[in-house]
Structure 1
């Protein structure tokens, strides 16, 4: 890492919309706590007081709460947020503002330009125009995303797939660089303890031969959980020892519960809700599944690799940059219930082969997706003229 000659610390102000602890929030947290404190003064502005705010406080990172900053479009609140960011940037005079999530990035880039911030960095964790929306909505979101990239001095794409989505955009080619997410090893519990803890949370005694599939994700349509539930329903009658546990909370809970009830899977599929440090229980899973319809570069697959867990995932966004089909996991097309069911059955039927997949994924994550690599490349971008 290159240390600047000046002894003056570089002031970084991160901005993010939500304060839960999804991928974008983990990214901000990891950077904020990992940047060298002898080189950087760090602050985070955020639109909530959730898990991210708590973790930043524990890491002694100063935060600023912006009540009007929220995901949903609201012209009055959005204008209020723009003014709040403008005032914050004028007061703090950061050398770099680093923007994350669509709403915070669009408003933050505009406020940053108005205040003449020296460097505006925007990290694209994925694009909202890749979600299931109307053609008009996708077009408008694409235009707004393009304007955000234009307004920033530099844009970080968390995967080549995210960057490649911008290939046809004019005037932005030299503004975008790929810096993949990186991770340090979480604290895992043992396999036996994890299975016991999961059983305790859901109040169910797993049989000794239980095959436990797991997902760690926000309960959102983008995660494609309905497809896995329907795939599981195809396998459940002839495989009474398979179970599915889903860690996470979100707007799709009622819909998922209805599907579980429809198929009579109340004792086989469990929505655990938000579980603090859910990643620690990964060793208790026989297989992790991520059936997303839209992704950037999901942290949960990096965490699964460090836990030596075999993975089934959909070939969307940056996922194929982590999961190479039949090499470091199994890839299936998105929204394909039959393919998901087949992949689950293959994992169930091939214990030795799935262990090899987990080992190879671990090797890939350890070598190519480290937190140190992500931090070093991001610091270099901050210093680049």
Structure 2
């Protein structure tokens, strides 16, 4: 049987990059041939398949920000590549990849699977931008594309808010490989032994300011340090976060870490007491899946993705988005009650093992591709 050729289109950063690499490194190379089209300035790391071979890749003008010139240029570049490669299927990822894949797929008559990794219209407070992004999603919905959500709540949003027909929306949960070994840190440790942590760039999405305010309230009753991993080039609210830390006199209570090796992230999560997330929205966050795989309870906001992963009072706590008092109460509960923390931590690993192991779940995605 001939291999099915799949072209992946994306701006390869953050969780989207992690998703694709995990898929490529676990897919059956006897049945599938994968090709990657990504941005000229996103990742420099090559992609590899399950056999350890480099995956063919093309670089086009895909950038995070809107640019009419670059966006039109990327459509022509992608069209030319697809016409040459003649794939059986396009899997387009996130907003830019989603637009590119669905437009070129329609032009060439190629079926498209689209994974939003959290819809772009959720990323802005600006009502005009929100309306524009949502209307673009609505215009491109259905047609020749199938919505492949990363969580049940993302699928629900696709149907209820974006307008996907239920028959055109399915789920393949984000999942990761088991974390069997913790590597030594590649960075110098500068923080106390007792800490809680999070992964996420200072941005509207991650709402780190809320996290700082929560910790400020916790600090009134218990001493605990916070490590924030993921401060990088796409950190639009970094100055706001730094200013708030200074304003609340919390310089010694918070460590801001730049983007670092994924092995360092695992090490830091593994040594933490538990994990927290104050995100306003998600698709299905890898950092929480990684925390579950490392037997860490999580205290998270009640948003898409988070609420799929965390079952309240089973493997952590789910708190309403702006509820500072609720966050404080749950964090203090885990800091004080070791027996409860141990129980939730054990359940955290069970959640991962039963639901989010890509070694077990990759067959689901392969079946979707074959259909």
CA distance in 2, matches of 1:336, 1:59: 48
CA pair 124-260 structure 1, distance change in 2 beyond 3 A: same
C-alpha deviation, 1:239, in angstroms: 2.8
Deviations 1:261-318 (A, max 9, x none): 1122112101011111133212111011011011111111111111011111111002
CA pair 101-41 structure 1, distance change in 2 beyond 3 A: same
2:9 corresponds to 1:15: yes
- For 2:70, the equivalent position in structure 1 comes to 77
CA contact (8 A) 2:94 2:119 kept: no
- Report the 3-state secondary structure (helix = DSSP H, G, I; strand = E; otherwise coil) of the residue aligned with 1:86: helix
- Report the 3-state secondary structure (helix = DSSP H, G, I; strand = E; otherwise coil) of the residue aligned with 1:167: helix
CA distance in 1, matches of 2:294, 2:247: 33
CA pair 55-315 structure 1, distance change in 2 beyond 3 A: farther
2:36 corresponds to 1:54: no
CA contact (8 A) 1:310 1:329 kept: yes
CA distance in 2, matches of 1:270, 1:28: 30
1:1-385 equivalence runs, <5 A: 7-17=1-11, 19-20=12-13, 22-51=14-43, 53-54=44-45, 56=47, 60-66=54-60, 68-117=61-110, 119-168=111-160, 170=163, 172-189=165-182, 197=185, 201-204=188-191, 206=192, 210-240=193-223, 242-249=224-231, 250-277=235-262, 278-281=264-267, 282-384=269-371
CA distance in 2, matches of 1:333, 1:152: 37
Deviations 1:140-162 (A, max 9, x none): 22221123332443210111111
CA distance in 2, matches of 1:48, 1:237: 48
C-alpha deviation, 1:121, in angstroms: 0.9
Deviations 1:230-270 (A, max 9, x none): 11112224434x10011102222222111111122112101
CA distance in 1, matches of 2:143, 2:20: 20
CA contact (8 A) 1:122 1:152 kept: no
- Report the 3-state secondary structure (helix = DSSP H, G, I; strand = E; otherwise coil) of the residue aligned with 1:14: strand
CA contact (8 A) 1:122 1:149 kept: no
- Report the 3-state secondary structure (helix = DSSP H, G, I; strand = E; otherwise coil) of the residue aligned with 2:74: helix
- Report the 3-state secondary structure (helix = DSSP H, G, I; strand = E; otherwise coil) of the residue aligned with 1:150: coil
Instruction: Please report the TM-score for the alignment, with normalisation by the length of structure 1.
Output: 0.88
Deviations 1:27-86 (A, max 9, x none): 1111112111111111111114545x41516762222111x2112111111100111111
Deviations 1:152-173 (A, max 9, x none): 4321011111111133455633
CA pair 337-125 structure 1, distance change in 2 beyond 3 A: same
- Report the 3-state secondary structure (helix = DSSP H, G, I; strand = E; otherwise coil) of the residue aligned with 1:72: coil
C-alpha deviation, 1:327, in angstroms: 0.9
CA distance in 2, matches of 1:129, 1:224: 16
* Structure 1: tracts of 5 or more residues without a match: 1-6
CA distance in 2, matches of 1:232, 1:82: 45
Q: Give the RMSD, CA atoms, in angstroms.
A: 2.0
Deviations 1:110-149 (A, max 9, x none): 01211222x2111122212234423333222222112333
Question: Which deviates more from structure 2 when the two are superposed, residues 252-261 or residues 80-89?
Answer: 252-261
CA distance in 2, matches of 1:316, 1:170: 20
Count of residues paired in the alignment: 362
* Structure 2: tracts of 5 or more residues without a match: none
